[in-house]
Chains A and B, each alone.
Chain A
Amino acid sequence: MGYSWDFGAVTLHPHMWLWGFVVTVSYSTATIVGGLLIGVVCGMLMLSHRWILVSPVNGFVQAFRCTPLLIQIIWFYYALPVAANITIPAWFAAALGLTFYMAAFSAEIFRGGLQSIDRGQWQAARAIGMLPWQVMHRVILPQAARRMLPPFVNQSVLQIKNTSLLSVIAVPDLMYQAQLMVSETFRPLEIYTSLGVAYFAMLYPLQKLAKKLERRDDI
């Protein structure tokens, strides 16, 4: 009944690991940065008091927060080209889905962070004659940034793990490379175990960083 482990299968194709790692890191970085930028804009719009701006952004955020990322990726890959009558390459569809997903969560983090700053800070800053953007830049953002940093890091950790879903549309990330190696070697236990360890090694330091930032709440 004993299963004989053979980790030789894991080291058979080092370049596949390396290439997968590069793809995973690139997608993670690009979609986190892109998502943050879109999220910041969305978060700001959500705080404006204009219904015409707030409701579409809210709709976008809720749609992406309340549907599985896997469905979003598949939808961008299969349905969007049909719906919009355009062909988009797999890598771009994948990036779009992930970016919007990150954007939706960042928007909420950003909105919450800004709203958590006492209204008195706005009043005091306006009372000395600051313009709204100056209040934001000099008074609100520096305070909000410290509160927003830990949830942003947490969301980024989730985002990196979520890139593994890209494999379903054949983006050659770590997960996809692992699947290829499994189909070649028939050693899923060894390869997926190693893959888990690889993700852990990437994410544990980040998670530690998030914890550290949370504790540094010294204002």
Chain B
Amino acid sequence: MISDAPRRAELSLDPPMIEIDELHKCYGELEAVKSVSLQVARGEARFIIGPSGCGKSTFLRCINLLEVPTRGRMRVGETSMAFGPNTKPLPTRAQAEFRARVGMVFQQFHLFPHMTARENVMEGPRTVKRLPIAEARDIADELLAKVGLSAKRETYPRHLSGGQAQRVAIARALAMAPEVVLFDEVTSALDPELVDEVLAVIRQLTEEGMTMVVVTHEMAFAREVASAVTFMDGGAMVEQGSAEQILEHATNPRLVSFLRRFRR
């Protein structure tokens, strides 16, 4: 403990949680992500916005290796990796261990339909971390309480509303105690009246200092909670800055025209 040491000036020089350097993702001829670099500090909520098909989801999926980048370098927490024609892909087991530390929540929830809400949340701690059942259950119950779904513990996903299902999915990601959570348009598939209950959970996580990267079309929400916003278009990072800079004082013409679509 260095509790009574004066708050060190180097604190701001702490290495970022995520450091991505000139990342490319190609599908044959198509370059979906073009040399994107990004740094996300510990505890930061980084929002990525941009038109559909701009590569922001692909980029997000590269961060937890659901897509393997074609070229570039990336570091998340302690794990550094490089991608390119001459680098070997990370072994399967190392990839899995890496993903266990980088949570992800999907647009379509992808809950396991043959498991109850509680079993969905327990699955990671049980199967991946090999925790005893009782311990995994405690983790699940605590997280389901946190997302306001204690009453739905024994419910199967087909009986949950979209908003409830997405909150279970968030709890499932959190159950691994990840260093970073990635959110991939998690409210896009929801009925409008169910969006807020999911955003409330994400807002709470930002307040708790969870490091996260959020791909979203919810501009008002981004304005409210984002530590920084990145605007992507055509696979490339066009602009980044504080939420205010990007969302209110945009000067880049592509960004301005993109944002105009969200105003009446």
Contacts and interface: CB of A to CB of B under 8 A. Distances in A.
B111 interface: yes
B124 A123 contact: no
B20 interface: no
Given A126-B96, A127-B173, A129-B100, A121 B110 contact: yes
Interface residues of A, number: 19
Residue of B101, B123, B176 ringed by the most chain A CB atoms within 10 A: B123
Contact of B99 (A118, A121, A127, A138): A127
A143 interface: yes
B126 to A, nearest CB: 9
Contacts, number: 67
Given A143-B113, A219-B114, A128 B103 contact: yes
Contacts of A139: 112, 123
Interface residues of B, number: 29
A132 B101 CA distance: 17
B127 interface: yes
Contacts of B108: 120
Given A124-B111, A143-B114, A130 B66 contact: no
B110 A129 contact: no
Given A118-B110, A123-B110, A129 B176 contact: yes
A130 to B, nearest CB: 6
A26 interface: no
Interface of B: 64, 66, 92-93, 96-101, 103-104, 106, 108, 110-114, 123-124, 127-128, 158, 169, 172-173, 175-176
B176 A121 contact: no
Nearest to B175: A128
B133 to A, nearest CB: 14
A125 B111 CA distance: 9
Interface of A: 118, 120-121, 123-132, 134, 138-139, 142-143, 219
Nearest to B97: A129
5 contacts: A125-B123, A127-B66, A127-B99, A127-B173, A132-B92
Nearest to A143: B114
Given A121-B110, A128-B176, 6 more contacts: A124-B169, A126-B99, A128-B128, A130-B128, A134-B127, A219-B113
A59 to B, nearest CB: 28
A129 B94 CA distance: 10
Nearest to A129: B100
A126 B114 contact: no
Contact of B106 (A123, A131, A134, A138): A123
Nearest to B64: A127
Contacts of A128: 99-100, 103, 123-124, 128, 172-173, 175-176
Contacts of A219: 113-114, 158
B178 to A, nearest CB: 9
A139 B108 CA distance: 17
